[in-house]
C-alpha cells in the first residue's frame, strides 16, 4: 500500500521534473530566436556549408575539381542532400541575411524530430500524456541546444530514422516498404545514419517476417545507395570529398568527455530507467526501439573516433531515448520514494530547473541587444575588408571577406597531418605578401588535438605579417613592411584594439 508520504513525494518529484523540462524548454527557445539573423556563423563550419550552398545555386555543382577550384582545400565535406536542402529557401525567396533561410530549415527539422519522437512514444506507451512528456523532454536536451540552427544534416537524418522505426510498428503491410525508404533516406543527410536500416532489418528477421525483411531491405537500399549512385554520376568527386576526414586521426579522450556530458542528461537517466522497466515486460515492439538505440550507440561511437567528430554523433541515441524517458517519467508517479523522493525533487528544482529558468530570463533580456551589437560590428569589419585581399582562418571573417581563399582551415590541418595535402603553395603566397590582411583566432584553438591553424603556416605568417589589433577574438595581421595606406586607421576607427607588444605566433 502507498502511504500518504509516498504519494506526496511521487507527485512532488513529477512536478519538479515538469518544472525542469519547462525551464529547459524556455531556455532552448530563448537561445535560438535571437540567433536567426546573426551575421556570420552560429556554429563552426556554417560559413563553409553556406558557401557551398551558394555555389550550388550559381553553378549547379557541389564538389569542385582541385584543378579549377579557387579555394584551399577544394572539398565539400557533407552529403549532397544537405546542400540541396539548405539551398531550398533561396530558391523560394530572397533574404537580407543568407544564413536566415537555411537556419529556418534546420530549426524546422529539429522540431520535426521532436514531433517524430512524440509520435513514436504515443505508439509505444499506452498513456494519453506520453506524447506531452516526449515533447517536453526532447526540447530539454542540453547537448542538442547549441546545434539546433547549425547548418548540418543531423536532425534531418534522425527525423527519417525515427519515422522508419514508427512505420515498422504500424499494422498495415504497406508501411514496411515505406519504413525502408525512410531508413535509407536518412543516410542522404549523413552516411553514418545506418542504425534504423540495420535495426529494422534485424528486427524483422528476428520475427521471421522474411517477406517484410526483403521489402524493407530493398526499399532501404534503393533510397540510400540508389540515390547516392545517381548523385555520383553527376558529381564524380562526391565520394572522395565526403570521406575526406575518413578515420585517419583517432582521438579517444574527447569521447570520454562526451560520455560524461551525456550522463548528466535527465533524458538519458530517465531513458535507462524506462529501459529497465521495458526489459522486465519483454515486449517485441519495445525491442525494436531498444535495438535501434544500442546499434546507434555502437555505430556512432565507432564513427566518432575520428578527430573531426563532435557530440552531435550521439543525438540519434538521445532521440531514441525520448520515448523510453517519457515512459520512465510516467512511471515516477507509481513509485514509492518517501523522504528520498522529496529530496530528489528539491535537488532537481534548485540544481537544474532554477538555473535553467534564470539562464532563459538572461537570454531573453541580453541576447537580442548582443546579437544587434555583433551584427553592427560585422558590418563594420565587412566594410574594412572590401577592396583588400584577405586570408582568414576564422570562418565568419572568411564569409565577410570579398573572396574565399581558405575553404576550411581545420580540414587543411587535418589533411596535412595525414600527408594528403601540401600547404606549401599557400605558404609561398603568404611569404610573397599576396594578402593585405591575415585573420587568425586571437588564441591558439585546437579541436581534439588538431589545431585550427596549420602549424606549417604559422612561421610564414609570423615572418611576413605582424599582429596589429584584436577584433571580436580575432587577431588582425598586417604586412610587416608597407601595409596598405589608411588600413590601420580604418581598423582603429571600428574599434580594433591594439595588440599588446610581444605577441608570438604561439598565442594564435
- Segment 112-141 shows an average pLDDT of 95
The pLDDT of residue 463: 94
Do 323 and 410 reside in the same domain of the chain?
no
Confidence of residue 281 (pLDDT cuts 50, 70, 90): low
Based on the fold, state whether residues 296 and 436 are members of the same structural domain: no
- The whole-number average pLDDT for the span 101-107 is 97
Same domain assignment for residues 190 and 43: yes
Residue 30 inside a domain? The answer is no
What's the rounded mean pLDDT across residues 286-290? Answer: 93
> 277 with 158, same domain?
yes
- Residues 439-497 have pLDDT tens digits of 999 999 999 999 999 999 999 999 999 999 999 899 999 999 889 999 999 999 999 97
- Domain end, chosen from 317, 337, 357, is at 337
- Do both 223 and 299 map to the same domain? yes
Q: Is residue 460 part of a domain?
A: yes
Whether a cis peptide bond, with omega within 30° of 0, leads into 73 is yes
Grid cell 547537448 in the structure block, residue: 143
pLDDT one-digit tens code per residue, 20-43: 999 999 999 999 999 999 999 999
Structural domain of residue 401, as residue ranges?
A: 386-507
The mean per-residue pLDDT over the stretch 191-209 comes to 96
Residue pair 22/136 in contact by the 8 Å Cβ criterion:
yes
> In this structure, is residue 27 part of a structural domain?
no
Closest Cα partner for 191 from 241, 258, 139? 241
Q: Kindly state the cell numbers that stand for 443.
A: 588564441
211 lies in the same domain as 291: yes
196-215 b/e with 16+ CB inside 10 Å = b?
bbbbbbbbbeeeeeeebbbb
- State how far the Cα of 313 lies from the Cα of 408, in Å rounded to an integer: 20
Q: Which of the two residues, 481 and 202, has the higher pLDDT score?
A: 202
Per-residue model confidence (pLDDT) at position 499: 64
H and E: helices and strands count for the chain: 22, 7
The number of folded domains in the chain is 2
Report, as an integer, the average pLDDT of 279-307.
89
What pairs with residue 451 in β-bridges? 446
What percentage of residues in the chain have a pLDDT greater than 70?
Answer: 97
pLDDT at residue 66, as a whole number: 83
**pLDDT at 502 > cutoff 60:** no
217 pLDDT above the threshold of 90: yes
Q: What angle do CA 149, 154, 160 make, to 5 degrees?
A: 115
40 burial (CB, 10 Å; 0-12 / 13-18 / 19+) is buried
Greatest mean pLDDT range, 330-334, 391-395, 420-424: 391-395
Q: Give the mean pLDDT of 211-232.
A: 97
Cα-only R_g, the chain: 25
In whole angstroms, what is the distance from residue 387 CA to residue 325 CA?
55
Q: CA 487 from chain center: how many Å?
A: 37
Q: Is the pLDDT of residue 1 over 50?
A: no
Which cell is 493 given? 576607427
Domain closes at, from 311, 337, 363? 337
Q: In this predicted structure, what is the pLDDT of residue 335?
A: 73
> Is 290 a domain residue?
yes
Q: Is residue 17 part of a domain?
A: no
Listed ranges 172-181, 417-426, 490-499; the one with the highest mean pLDDT: 172-181
Mean of the pLDDT values across residues 47-52? Answer: 96
- Name the 3-class secondary structure at 442: coil
Is the separation of the CB atoms in 196 and 164 below 8 Å? yes
Same domain, 193 and 281: yes
Report the alpha-carbon distance of residue 420 to residue 397 in Å, rounded.
26
Mean pLDDT computed over 421-431: 94
Is position 376 within any domain? Answer: no
Could you tell me the pLDDT band of residue 282, with boundaries at 50, 70 and 90?
Answer: low
Grid cell, residue 235, equals 558529381
How far apart are the C-alpha atoms of 160 and 287, rounded to whole Å?
A: 19
CA distance 430 to 424: 10
Residue 470: what pLDDT?
A: 93
Exposed (0-12), middle (13-18) or buried (19+): which is 468, by Cβ within 10 Å? buried
pLDDT of residue 277: 79
Percent over 90 (pLDDT), the chain: 80
What does the pLDDT read at residue 294? 96
Sign of CA dihedral 331, 336, 341, 345: positive
Confidence class for position 332, pLDDT limits 50, 70, 90: confident
Average pLDDT, the chain: 92
Q: Starting at the earlier edge strand, list the strands of the sheet with 465-471.
A: 390-392, 437-441, 474-479, 465-471, 497-498
* 216 inside domain: yes
Name the DSSP class of 45: T
pLDDT band at 5 (very low <50, low <70, confident <90, very high): confident
CB 30 within 8 A of CB 364: yes
3-state secondary structure 230-254: HHHHHCCCHHHHHCCCCCCCECCHH
Whether 396 and 333 share a structural domain: no
Examine the fold and report which residue of 337, 355, 377 is the final residue of a domain before the chain moves on: 337
| Among candidate residues 479, 475, 480, the one with its CA nearest the CA of residue 498 | 475
Looking at the fold, whether 325 and 460 belong to one and the same domain comes out as: no
54 inside domain: yes
Q: Are 78 and 29 in contact (CB under 8 A)?
A: no
CA 79, CA 308: separation in Å to the nearest integer? 16
Domain shared by 265 and 407, yes or no: no
Q: Is there a single domain that holds both residue 132 and residue 246?
A: yes
Query: Does 413 share its domain with 492?
Result: yes
The answer to whether 162 and 123 have CB atoms below 8 angstroms apart is no
What is the model's pLDDT at position 501?
54
Give the Cα separation of 258 and 311 in Å (integer). 6
Amino acid at each position: 500500500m502507498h502511504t500518504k508520504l509516498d504519494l506526496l513525494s511521487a507527485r512532488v518529484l513529477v512536478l519538479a521534473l515538469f518544472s525542469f523540462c519547462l525551464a529547459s524548454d524556455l531556455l532552448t527557445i530563448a537561445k535560438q530566436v535571437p540567433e536567426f539573423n546573426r551575421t556570420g556563423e552560429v556554429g563552426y563550419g556554417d560559413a563553409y556549408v553556406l558557401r557551398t550552398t551558394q555555389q550550388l545555386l550559381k553553378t549547379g555543382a557541389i564538389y569542385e575539381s582541385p584543378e579549377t577550384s579557387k579555394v584551399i582545400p577544394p572539398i565539400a565535406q557533407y552529403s549532397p542532400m544537405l546542400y540541396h536542402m539548405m539551398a531550398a529557401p533561396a530558391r523560394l525567396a530572397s533574404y537580407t541575411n543568407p544564413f536566415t533561410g537555411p537556419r529556418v530549415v534546420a530549426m524546422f527539422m529539429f522540431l520535426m524530430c521532436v514531433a517524430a519522437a512524440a509520435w513514436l512514444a504515443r505508439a509505444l506507451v499506452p498513456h494519453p500524456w506520453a506524447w506531452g512528456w516526449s515533447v517536453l523532454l526532447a526540447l530539454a536536451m542540453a547537448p542538442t541546444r547549441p546545434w539546433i540552427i547549425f547548418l548540418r544534416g543531423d536532425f534531418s537524418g534522425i527525423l527519417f530514422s525515427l519515422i522508419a522505426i514508427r512505420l515498422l510498428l504500424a499494422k498495415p503491410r504497406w508501411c514496411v516498404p515505406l519504413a525502408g525508404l525512410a531508413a535509407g533516406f536518412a543516410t542522404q543527410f549523413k552516411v553514418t545514419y545506418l542504425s534504423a536500416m540495420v535495426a529494422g532489418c534485424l528486427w524483422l528477421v528476428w520475427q521471421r517476417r522474411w517477406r517484410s525483411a526483403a521489402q524493407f531491405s530493398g526499399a532501404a537500399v534503393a533510397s540510400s545507395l540508389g540515390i547516392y549512385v545517381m548523385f555520383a554520376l553527376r558529381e564524380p568527386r562526391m565520394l572522395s570529398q565526403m570521406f575526406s576526414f575518413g578515420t585517419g586521426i583517432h582521438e579517444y579522450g574527447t569521447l570520454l568527455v562526451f560520455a560524461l556530458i551525456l550522463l548528466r542528461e535527465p533524458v538519458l537517466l530517465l531513458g535507462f530507467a524506462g529501459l529497465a522497466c521495458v526489459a522486465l515486460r519483454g515486449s517485441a515492439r519495445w525491442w525494436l526501439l531498444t535495438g535501434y538505440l544500442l546499434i546507434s550507440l555502437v555505430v556512432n561511437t565507432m564513427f566518432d573516433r575520428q578527430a573531426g567528430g563532435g557530440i552531435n554523433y550521439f543525438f540519434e541515441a538521445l532521440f531514441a531515448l525520448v520515448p523510453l524517458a517519457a515512459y520512465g517519467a510516467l512511471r515516477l508517479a507509481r513509485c514509492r520514494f518517501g523522504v528520498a523522493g522529496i529530496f530528489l525533487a528539491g535537488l532537481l528544482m534548485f540544481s537544474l530547473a532554477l538555473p535553467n529558468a534564470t539562464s532563459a530570463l538572461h537570454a531573453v533580456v541580453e541576447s537580442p541587444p548582443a546579437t544587434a551589437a555583433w551584427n553592427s560590428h560585422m558590418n563594420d569589419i565587412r566594410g574594412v575588408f572590401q577592396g583588400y585581399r584577405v586570408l582568414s582562418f576564422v570562418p565568419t571573417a572568411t564569409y565577410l571577406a570579398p573572396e574565399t581563399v581558405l575553404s576550411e582551415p581545420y580540414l587543411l590541418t587535418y589533411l596535412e597531418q595525414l600527408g594528403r595535402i601540401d600547404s606549401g603553395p599557400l605558404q609561398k603566397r603568404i611569404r610573397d605578401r599576396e594578402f593585405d590582411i591575415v585573420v587568425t583566432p586571437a588564441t591558439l584553438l585546437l579541436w581534439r588535438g588538431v589545431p585550427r591553424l596549420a602549424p606549417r603556416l604559422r612561421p610564414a605568417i609570423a615572418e611576413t605579417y605582424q599582429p596589429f589589433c584584436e577584433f571580436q577574438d580575432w587577431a588582425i595581421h598586417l604586412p610587416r613592411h608597407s601595409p596598405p595606406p589608411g588600413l590601420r586607421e580604418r581598423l582603429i576607427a571600428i574599434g580594433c584594439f591594439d595588440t599588446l607588444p610581444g605577441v608570438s605566433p604561439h598565442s594564435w
